[in-house]
């Protein structure tokens, strides 16, 4: 995906609110979709301060998944954008923590970053649609990160 497509996605998936129930609903939806697609991923939804709101690990996720998620989250919180968009801009990579240079992607086995990204975007769009139909919600911007990672 190019930067323009990722920027459009970011706008389209900006939620009206994001609370503990939303995190649970999003996490369960991601977990179920990943399980149905037989993706061996770990799922982590957290606030910028580090509070974990949802976490699951599916068969096939590796010990490296935790480290991968921490790096993806650190990038997203530092730049207040998805790690995919930050990477597309060439600012840095979640793999910098492994001593790799800026903009270089690590090799992936199993599901791809693109598959994982598409799954998160799909579920965020569904959550935003559900929120849009609820006229009682206050308007606010959320800087939360949903991360899926194989850690490979």
Encode pLDDT of 86-140 as tens digits. 888 887 654 444 333 333 222 333 456 788 888 999 999 999 999 888 755 544 4
Tell me, yes or no, whether 117 lies in a domain.
yes
Tell me, yes or no, whether 138 lies in a domain.
no
Which among 101, 107, 79, 74 is positioned nearest to 7, based on CA atoms?
79
SS3 147: strand
Tell me, yes or no, whether 139 lies in a domain.
no
Tell me, yes or no, whether 97 lies in a domain.
yes
Per-residue model confidence (pLDDT) at position 124: 92
Tell me, yes or no, whether 120 lies in a domain.
yes
Q: What is the pTM of this model?
A: 0.74
Question: Which ranges of 1-152 would DSSP assign to H, the alpha helix?
Answer: 3-12, 20-36, 65-79, 83-89, 113-132
More confident residue, 142 or 23: 23
Per-residue model confidence (pLDDT) at position 48: 81
Q: Is the pLDDT of residue 145 over 80?
A: no
**Residue 16's domain is classified under what CATH number?**
3.30.450.150
Encode pLDDT of 2-28 as tens digits. 889 999 999 999 888 889 999 999 999
Rg value, the chain, Cα: 15
Per-residue model confidence (pLDDT) at position 96: 44
- What's the 3-state SS for 81-121? CCHHHHHHHCCCCHHHHHCCCCCCCCCCCCCCHHHHHHHHH
Per-residue model confidence (pLDDT) at position 16: 86
Q: Is the pLDDT of residue 59 over 90?
A: yes
Tell me, yes or no, whether 106 lies in a domain.
yes
Give the span between the Cα atoms of 18 and 26, in whole angstroms: 10
Per-residue model confidence (pLDDT) at position 140: 43
Instruction: Give the residue numbers spanning the domain of 12.
Output: 3-132+144-149
Tell me, yes or no, whether 137 lies in a domain.
no
Encode pLDDT of 43-57 as tens digits. 999 988 888 999 999
Tell me, yes or no, whether 55 lies in a domain.
yes
How many domains are there within the chain? 1
């Amino acid at each position: 995906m190019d930067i323009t497509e990722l920027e459009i996605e970011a706008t389209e998936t900006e939620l009206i609110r994001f609370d503990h129930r939303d995190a649970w609903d999003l996490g369960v939806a991601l977990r179920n979709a990943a399980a149905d697609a037989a993706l061996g991923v770990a799922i982590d939804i957290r606030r910028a301060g580090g509070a974990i709101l949802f976490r699951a690990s599916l068969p096939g996720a590796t010990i490296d998944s935790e480290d991968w998620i921490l790096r993806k989250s650190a990038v997203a919180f530092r730049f207040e954008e998805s790690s995919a968009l930050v990477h597309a801009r060439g600012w840095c990579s979640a793999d910098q923590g492994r001593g790799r240079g800026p903009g270089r992607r690590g090799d992936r086995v199993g599901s791809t970053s693109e598959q994982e990204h598409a799954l998160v975007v799909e579920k965020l769009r569904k959550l935003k649609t559900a929120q849009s139909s609820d006229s009682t919600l206050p308007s606010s911007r959320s800087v939360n990160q949903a991360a899926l990672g194989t850690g490979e």
